Chain A
């Protein structure tokens, strides 16, 4: 079933580079028809619009709104079949009362399952569970010719690993079977540490991450000199029932709730400026304890602190913002240092950067995570950033690293193959699978994928 189209102007979460498309609504049974009827500019599926750049935009073409969400009862092995349009928010609220949890959650619950697979998202637990695509049993994919195929890492590894991280360009994911993990509560026991510089946090993560299921560090990007890379490291594990006390014991599930605050409008200019950022980062670093262990935090507070404020991306004003997230191999922590130095020296206001030590990467052709370090930084979209970030790209590539496509809004096509060695295989597969280019997106056009 498909409803009539409406014309919309869309951007990603960064609110940059708007383009117009026809928004299509359909359920899974209507997807094949929409693909067959797609015009010369094709169609792309959009989830909840949390990619920062343009992967869920399709200028002049069709954009498929999230499919209606549904969740089956988990099977005896804990796996659960869901619609691709289901949000992780809804999925967590469904699973927690059943004593289960998603094995991978990114920094927001407001992503769709289909989007999580297409971007092969990762979370604080990557060093243990890998990326989202590694926790999928199988997925139902409507191919560009309209046929539906169920693919998994064992049944059709080529198509599966092209689809995981494939930014929706191999087909439309309509449903998936996901693994879940058993949990006893909606709380985590959290250890927080304040670390004085980059070496300290890198060492602590390399040595200690294995003791925790989840680990991430927030770096104060405004700190320079000897304090460069000063961080707050937050690590934890799901709490057992017997670890709960007080309020947590009375409401052990603590189901994630809808945001309590909303940024109601876009301010005329960015509120993220050098001054506000410095003040915030200073405060944030000071308020963190030097060392605190076994604090109880609920799922929202631990995994998704920004989900508490709806529309926080508006704070960056009408020009929007970009996030630069890269990954480099373990031995190239020097690139992390140089990039932090560069950002600090250039005085682009950057809110807290997020540092994570990845475990081994997945076989996904365009999957981002790879063993080593990843750093993500948000900054207002200013034209003078273009050359700065292009320079950072070169350093990342020279170290054998890459930039995350789900965050990207400004990479150049020439550099993608150096970051993703299987990009040429991906192009070949698309040429074979989709000769008429029924699937297209602004990202694909920009990066010649």
Chain B
């Protein structure tokens, strides 16, 4: 159960080796005995993540998760939830890749759309069904400001995030009154291994800053946040810039 101060007892991290997911687990690990289900590809990265969280006093259950293997998602979520309630589920997986390849290479484009949009829809449906039945729980969907106004420089990524963002906002509405909640998180540029080597955009943040904002939002019952909070105003402005001008902006 999530307690009155927003601390969960069981957390499911889908894409459990992502920097933001791990930062989140670390900030919730203040609560000794936090049960963390690390859903990720098997391998040294998952092993390292599990070892680190165990060091912090978490009980870690690694499970094999492949975002594009959507047929297996229902059974996977069901098996996680059979032993315990899922207090918070974090949808943290995603790919960025080479932006120009992502619209010119067929395989890359389809893969990106599947990981960033189809797979989140797949797990979202399974999680919603489960959380409705248990009458409580929060789904944290890691979206991106890139989906709020899709721009030329990374439109394949932005469009996939726009789709998943819209889906989870709608899912949150559909779940009202069920006890389950959805929190959509729109970070700006986050310094992670996904963005390593790229030039940081203005208002860039660390994975820890995203985690801190998310834990606060989960505790307050928010359903949509921007990280940093100032990004909300920026994006609101950008949304209204005419296309002819927008295409000339250096973003």
Chain A residues in the interface with B (C-beta under 8 A):
7, 9, 14, 16-21, 41, 53-54, 58-61, 318-320, 322, 381-383, 385-387, 389, 409-414, 442, 445-446
Known contacts: A14-B4, A381-B5, A446-B3. The answer to whether A414 contacts B33 by CB under 8 A is yes
Q: Contact: B4 with A60, CB < 8 Å?
A: no
Docked complex Cα distance between A81 and B5 (Å): 40
B6 and chain A: residue at smallest CB distance: A383
Q: Contact: B5 with A60, CB < 8 Å?
A: no
Q: Contact: A386 with B5, CB < 8 Å?
A: yes
Q: Contact: B135 with A61, CB < 8 Å?
A: yes
For residue B96, CB closer than 8 A to chain A, the reply is: no
Chain A residues with CB under 8 Å of B9's CB are 446
Docked complex Cα distance between A305 and B221 (Å): 31
Q: Contact: A387 with B134, CB < 8 Å?
A: no
Nearest-Cβ distance from residue B103 to partner chain A, whole angstroms: 42
For residue B216, CB closer than 8 A to chain A, the reply is: yes
Q: Contact: A20 with B136, CB < 8 Å?
A: yes
For residue B219, CB closer than 8 A to chain A, the reply is: yes
Q: Which of B181-230 contact A (CB under 8 A)?
A: 215-216, 219-221
As a 0/1 sequence over residues 169 to 184 of chain B, the CB contacts with chain A under 8 angstroms (1 = contact) are 0000000011110000
Q: Contact: B177 with A7, CB < 8 Å?
A: yes
Chain A residues with CB under 8 Å of B136's CB are 17-20, 59-60, 442
Docked complex Cα distance between A318 and B219 (Å): 12
Docked complex Cα distance between A381 and B220 (Å): 9
Chain A residues with CB under 8 Å of B177's CB are 7, 9, 20
As a 0/1 sequence over residues 123 to 135 of chain B, the CB contacts with chain A under 8 angstroms (1 = contact) are 0000000001111
Partner of B32, one of A17, A53, A319, A414: A414
Chain A residues with CB under 8 Å of B216's CB are 383
Docked complex Cα distance between A54 and B136 (Å): 12
Chain B residues in the interface with A (C-beta under 8 A):
1-7, 9, 30-33, 85, 132-136, 177-180, 215-216, 219-221
A318 and chain B: residue at smallest CB distance: B221
Docked complex Cα distance between A389 and B179 (Å): 26
Total A-B pairs, Cβ < 8 A: 92
Q: Contact: B179 with A17, CB < 8 Å?
A: no
Docked complex Cα distance between A7 and B179 (Å): 10
Q: Contact: B1 with A442, CB < 8 Å?
A: yes
Q: Contact: B4 with A59, CB < 8 Å?
A: no
Partner of B179, one of A14, A18, A54: A18
A448 and chain B: residue at smallest CB distance: B9
Q: Contact: A381 with B135, CB < 8 Å?
A: no
Chain A residues with CB under 8 Å of B7's CB are 383, 386, 410
| Most A Cβ at <10 Å: residue of B5, B132, B177 | B5
| Most B Cβ at <10 Å: residue of A7, A19, A382 | A19
Chain B residues with CB under 8 Å of A14's CB are 4
B31 and chain A: residue at smallest CB distance: A412
Q: Contact: A17 with B135, CB < 8 Å?
A: no
Q: Contact: B5 with A410, CB < 8 Å?
A: yes
Docked complex Cα distance between A242 and B133 (Å): 61
Docked complex Cα distance between A19 and B216 (Å): 19
Nearest-Cβ distance from residue B21 to partner chain A, whole angstroms: 19
Chain A residues with CB under 8 Å of B32's CB are 412, 414
Chain B residues with CB under 8 Å of A382's CB are 5
Q: Contact: B1 with A385, CB < 8 Å?
A: no
Docked complex Cα distance between A389 and B6 (Å): 13
| Most B Cβ at <10 Å: residue of A19, A60, A319 | A60
Docked complex Cα distance between A19 and B4 (Å): 11
Q: Contact: B30 with A54, CB < 8 Å?
A: no
Chain A residues with CB under 8 Å of B133's CB are 60
Listed from nearest, the 10 A-B pairs whose CB atoms lie closest are A20-B179, A60-B135, A409-B4, A59-B135, A16-B4, A19-B136, A446-B1, A383-B219, A59-B136, A20-B135
Q: Contact: A322 with B5, CB < 8 Å?
A: yes
Nearest-Cβ distance from residue A155 to partner chain B, whole angstroms: 35
> Can you give 24 contacting A-B residue pairs, CB < 8 Å?
A7-B178, A17-B2, A17-B4, A18-B136, A20-B178, A21-B135, A21-B179, A41-B135, A54-B4, A60-B134, A60-B135, A61-B135, A383-B7, A383-B216, A385-B5, A386-B6, A386-B30, A389-B5, A409-B3, A412-B32, A442-B1, A445-B85, A446-B3, A446-B9
A54 and chain B: residue at smallest CB distance: B1
Known contacts: A59-B135, A319-B221. The answer to whether A387 contacts B2 by CB under 8 A is no
Q: Contact: A19 with B30, CB < 8 Å?
A: no
Q: Contact: A320 with B179, CB < 8 Å?
A: no
Chain A residues with CB under 8 Å of B5's CB are 16, 322, 381-383, 385-386, 389, 409-410
Chain B residues with CB under 8 Å of A59's CB are 1, 85, 134-136, 179
Q: Contact: A445 with B1, CB < 8 Å?
A: yes
Nearest-Cβ distance from residue B28 to partner chain A, whole angstroms: 10
Nearest-Cβ distance from residue B35 to partner chain A, whole angstroms: 11
Docked complex Cα distance between A414 and B215 (Å): 22
Nearest-Cβ distance from residue A444 to partner chain B, whole angstroms: 10
Q: Contact: A412 with B33, CB < 8 Å?
A: yes
A389 and chain B: residue at smallest CB distance: B5
Chain B residues with CB under 8 Å of A17's CB are 1-4, 136
Chain B residues with CB under 8 Å of A414's CB are 32-33
Chain B residues with CB under 8 Å of A54's CB are 1, 4
Nearest-Cβ distance from residue B87 to partner chain A, whole angstroms: 10
Chain B residues with CB under 8 Å of A322's CB are 4-5
Chain B residues with CB under 8 Å of A19's CB are 1, 135-136, 179
A59 and chain B: residue at smallest CB distance: B135
Nearest-Cβ distance from residue B64 to partner chain A, whole angstroms: 27
Docked complex Cα distance between A41 and B33 (Å): 23
Docked complex Cα distance between A212 and B32 (Å): 44
Docked complex Cα distance between A53 and B6 (Å): 13
A383 and chain B: residue at smallest CB distance: B219
Chain B residues with CB under 8 Å of A61's CB are 135
Chain A residues with CB under 8 Å of B179's CB are 9, 18-21, 59-60
